[in-house]
Amino acid sequence: MTINKRYLDKYEKSMRVYIPEERKAVILERFGEEPEPYEWSEQDITKQIENYLDWGSWEKPVKSNGVCTTLPPGIDF
């Protein structure tokens, strides 16, 4: 799954959050195309957007593409 500006605008409205344009550009750049040979799920995208908006970076793991980074201290799942 990939996203576009329309999807991101609907997400912003449904979640009742404000996403600045510069952050939208970063989100669209990251999720605008599939990470070959893997595929983003809607859950991956939603969780990563939430993480990015809270932290301002892509720190938490994305297990669907096989990458599992170390979480910062004090953060558990």
- Between the alpha carbon of residue 33 and those of residues 2, 39, 41, the distances in Å are 6, 9, 12
Contact 59, 51 (CB under 8 A): yes
Q: Does residue 76 sit within a domain?
A: no
What is the tens place of the pLDDT at every residue in 7-40?
999 988 888 888 889 889 988 988 888 877 778 8
Q: Is residue 29 situated within a structural domain?
A: yes
Residue 60 belongs to domain spanning: 5-65
SS3 content of the chain, % helix, strand, coil (to 5): 50, 5, 45
Domain-located, residue 14:
yes
Contact yes or no for 19/10 (Cβ under 8 A)? no
Tell me the C-alpha distance between 19 and 52, whole Å: 10
> CA–CA separation, 62 vs 56, rounded Å?
16
Confirm whether 77 is domain-assigned. no
Which pTM does this prediction carry?
A: 0.65
Task: For residue 51, give both structure tokens.
Answer: 């993480």
- pLDDT top residue among 44 and 77: 44
